[in-house]
């Protein structure tokens, strides 16, 4: 199980990356379920999709047949609680930084990046196995970029008995990239009153048209202000803008 501190850390991160995607939840769920139903797994594999926009696991496969866990138990906190206690801190750092990278992509597409990591996970009988997890972007939209990821995990216990975590990340066009703190490149400045209003409304899921009505301005003006903020604060997209604002307590 996750410690209270790590549980709070996980939920704090998920609250910062939560957003309302342009696609309907029903549409995203149907696409996820169709993909998982069609996915063929070996007996030593399990797979899952994480909807990052709301911090859920909408669909998964193999947790019952391979790991021994009932389907209804599987959620994000439960999954993180299966990590070996010695691996939790490093895995949480790697995963959140990989998500930060995914959100930094200006025009991502499904399966355009690859994240591989090996770690230990607990089966229902209490034993630990070594798995290799391969993850990539699954669903995206033009406003936020990355919406969800898909991961496939394979038991590699008999070919890798090393306890160390190993990882490899490749960005667009298969090029390796180094994980870095995106926020370190930003110069912290206070928002103007209008900027704070704009970002607050975006974070609450308001559309451009709704924001314009709320602020008493035009849709074109809202779009211009948003683009100016991205340029001013050296951010790639609207999601990064909201995430950075929340991270620095600007809204």
pLDDT over 50 (residue 246): yes
H helix intervals, the chain? 4-17, 25-38, 76-81, 88-104, 193-203, 208-215, 219-232, 238-247
pLDDT at res. 189: 61
pLDDT over 60 (residue 210): yes
C-beta of residue 153 within 8 angstroms of C-beta of residue 74: no
pLDDT over 50 (residue 191): yes
Q: 207 exposed, middle or buried (CB, 10 Å; 0-12, 13-18, 19+)?
A: middle
pLDDT at res. 174: 59
pLDDT over 90 (residue 237): no
Instruction: Give the whole-angstrom CA distance, residue 248 versus residue 242.
Output: 10
Question: What are the backbone dihedrals phi and psi of residue 55, each rounded to the nearest 5 degrees, phi first?
Answer: 65, 40
- Share the mean pLDDT of the chain: 87
Instruction: Give the whole-angstrom CA distance, residue 232 versus residue 188.
Output: 11
- Which has more confidence, 240 or 40? 40
* Mean pLDDT in residue range 131-141: 95
Instruction: Give the whole-angstrom CA distance, residue 32 versus residue 75.
Output: 15
* Mean pLDDT in residue range 196-205: 86
C-beta of residue 85 within 8 angstroms of C-beta of residue 104: no
Name the band, by pLDDT with cuts 50, 70 and 90, for residue 135.
very high
């Amino acid at each position: 199980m996750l410690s209270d501190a790590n549980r709070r850390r996980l939920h704090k991160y998920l609250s910062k990356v939560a957003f309302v995607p342009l696609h309907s939840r029903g549409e995203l769920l149907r696409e996820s379920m169709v993909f998982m139903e069609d996915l063929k797994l070996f007996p030593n594999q399990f797979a899952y999709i994480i909807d990052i926009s709301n911090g859920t696991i909408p669909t998964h496969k193999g947790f019952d047949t391979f790991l021994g866990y009932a389907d209804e138990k599987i959620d994000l906190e439960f999954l993180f609680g299966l990590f070996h206690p010695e691996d939790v801190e490093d895995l949480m750092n790697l995963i959140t930084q990989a998500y930060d990278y995914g959100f930094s992509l200006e025009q991502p597409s499904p399966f355009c990046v690859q994240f591989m990591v090996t770690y230990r996970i607990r089966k229902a009988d209490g034993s630990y196995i070594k798995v290799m997890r391969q993850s990539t972007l699954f669903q995206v939209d033009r406003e936020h970029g990355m919406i969800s990821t898909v991961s496939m995990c394979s038991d590699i216990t008999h070919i890798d008995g090393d306890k160390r975590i190993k990882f490899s990340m490749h960005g667009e066009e298969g090029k390796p990239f180094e994980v870095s703190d995106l926020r370190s490149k930003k110069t912290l400045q206070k928002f103007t009153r209008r900027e704070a209003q704009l970002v607050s409304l975006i974070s609450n899921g308001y559309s451009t048209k709704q924001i314009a009505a709320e602020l008493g301005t035009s849709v074109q003006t809202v779009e211009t202000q948003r683009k100016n903020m991205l340029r001013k604060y050296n951010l790639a997209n609207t999601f990064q803008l909201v995430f950075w604002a929340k991270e620095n307590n600007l809204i």
